[in-house]
Amino acid sequence: MRLTPLAILGTAITLAACAVGPDYRRPPVAVPEAFRAAAAPADGPSFGDQSWTDVYTDPALRELVAAALRGNPDLLAAVARVDQARAILGETRLALLPTVDVQAGVSRSKSSADVLLPGAARLRNSEEVAGTLAFEVDLWGRLRRATEAARATLLSTDYARRTVQSALVASVASGYFTLVSLDAQLEITRRTVGTREKFVELTRAQHERGYATGLDVATAESQAAVARANVPDLERRIAQTEDLLCGLIGDMPHPIARQHRGEGMPELPPAPPPGIPSQLLERRPDVRQAEEALHAANANVGVAKAALFPRISLTGLMGSLSSPLGSLFRAPTAEWSAAASAVQPLLDPQRSLYQVELADARKREALHQYEKAVQDAFREVADALVAYAKFGEFSLEQAKQVAALRRAEEIALARYRVGYASYFDVINADRDLFAAELALNQARANDLIALVQLYQALGGGWE
């Protein structure tokens, strides 16, 4: 049967539509029906779907997060890596198109009279203009698989940027809540210092009247010194936390403005809904990053397998070459050529087979990394849910303890003034109250940080 040019073209197009190597399909993952430690059945939208501006309503915190998104060096470096991957994709896609070159030249030469034929001129001029077209016929899909891998790498790099952004938002929020907590602890400590210094004055007065001993005075002074010693330590931690936040926003160390000062702490929202577990695979940027890395590794297997087959190239040249000046582009000076070539390595085929094995091993590695990313995602959500719930329960009980100790201190101090309680009753009540107030403040900070961790674990903070 004779093949017409149209049939040959149709056959070439059909072959070009094929690509060796496996097509990518998302690997099956066993997703739980509900998150462990979830307060309610998973249904409806997730807490992670909310914008960080809706989750963090403190104006000062919003300004910090916005500044970090503008100036954090790690995030800016991640953006630069995305631009690099985009440039690599553009370069890779160009390989699918023909390359066209144009060359032009003018030359003048003089030959020796001893070698010239009779009547030939010693001076010669020549002009040349030619266009060259080269095209690799991608019969086995090597170039298309390479483009697929580059596109998946770009997406993976972009999801990596989103992962950095999500972690950055969480770090700024955690640092801010830690700073507010330290402010509250400093206020509690300063209030305690004032209370204990007044108690020192009271004890000295009691000692002068003979109702207290020198040991009582020394003990009171010691307790006041303990409280005063906490002040510079807390001031140090506050300054270092401010410096940390300055580093996150890409700025030099300076004081950080905050909405809450003193003993006040931001209010917690009700139990945030975790959402449907299967949606976590789409919402978590690190999981999507791992999946796109797997996609790229899968495409690279096709690139390696296509290298086992011959490379077929088409080249063509068309131009004009003229010896006398001014005759360029006339019909007699036209020239052209066309060629087709196939290159098949013969002496080192084993090297290509090793490249296939390497690409397949990298694909398996990427698969296991994707599976681990999914497992880590569900573990982090479960940890954050139980932390948010249990820290809340702890805070409630700690608040009850503080309220009871405040009553106990008031009673002990009143009884001590009239001589019905011992000095040590007052000291013990004051010491227990101070420790409980600091513990309550830390518990409330843990509540807020657990909320931040839950929001990040559910994939929030990168929109």
Q: Residues 344-359: pLDDT tens digits?
A: 666 666 788 888 999 9
129 within 8 A of 320, measured Cβ to Cβ:
yes
Q: For 337, list phi and psi in degrees, rounded to 5.
A: -155, 155
pLDDT top residue among 145 and 271: 145
3-class SS of residue 229: helix
**In the chain, % of residues over pLDDT 70:** 85
pLDDT top residue among 157 and 137: 157
CA-nearest of 312, 297, 348 to 140 is 312
> Read out DSSP for 120-167?
--SEEEEEEEEEEEEEEE-TT-HHHHHHHHHHHHHHHHHHHHHHHHHH
Q: Does any domain span residue 137?
A: no
The total number of structural domains in the chain stands at 1
Mean pLDDT for 300-314 is 86
The pTM score is 0.83
CA-nearest of 445, 299, 290 to 372 is 290
Query: Quick one: CA dihedral 439, 444, 446, 449, positive or negative?
Result: negative
> Read out DSSP for 147-160?
HHHHHHHHHHHHHH
Mean pLDDT for 114-127 is 70
**In the chain, % of residues over pLDDT 90:** 49
* pLDDT score recorded for residue 113: 67
Q: Does any domain span residue 17?
A: no
Q: Does any domain span residue 9?
A: no
Q: Which of 40-44, 58-62, 103-107, 273-277 has the highest mean pLDDT?
A: 58-62
Helix axis angle, 214-248 to 142-208, nearest 10°: 160
pLDDT at 177 over 60: yes
User: Token digits for 105?
Assistant: 């030249």
Q: Does any domain span residue 43?
A: yes
* pLDDT score recorded for residue 43: 67
CA-nearest of 381, 348, 309, 388 to 140 is 309
Q: Is 12 left (phi over 0), alpha (psi -120 to 50) or beta?
A: alpha
* pLDDT score recorded for residue 6: 42
Q: For 311, list phi and psi in degrees, rounded to 5.
A: -95, 125
pLDDT digits (tens, 9 = 90+) for 60-70: 999 999 999 99
CATH code, domain with 288: 1.20.1600.10
Q: Does any domain span residue 333?
A: no
Q: Does any domain span residue 109?
A: no
* Average of per-residue pLDDT values in the chain: 84
pLDDT level of residue 42 (50, 70, 90 thresholds):
low
pLDDT digits (tens, 9 = 90+) for 1-18: 444 444 444 444 444 456
Residue 432 gets which letter from DSSP? H
User: Token digits for 227?
Assistant: 């409280």
Expressed as residue numbers, the domain containing 398 is 32-97+143-302+353-457
User: Token digits for 123?
Assistant: 């001076």
Q: Does any domain span residue 341?
A: no
pLDDT digits (tens, 9 = 90+) for 309-326: 888 877 877 766 555 555
Least confident of 132-141, 277-286, 393-402: 132-141
* pLDDT score recorded for residue 422: 75
* pLDDT score recorded for residue 63: 94
* pLDDT score recorded for residue 260: 61
Q: Does any domain span residue 287?
A: yes
CA-nearest of 336, 25, 349, 299 to 154 is 299
25 within 8 A of 437, measured Cβ to Cβ:
no
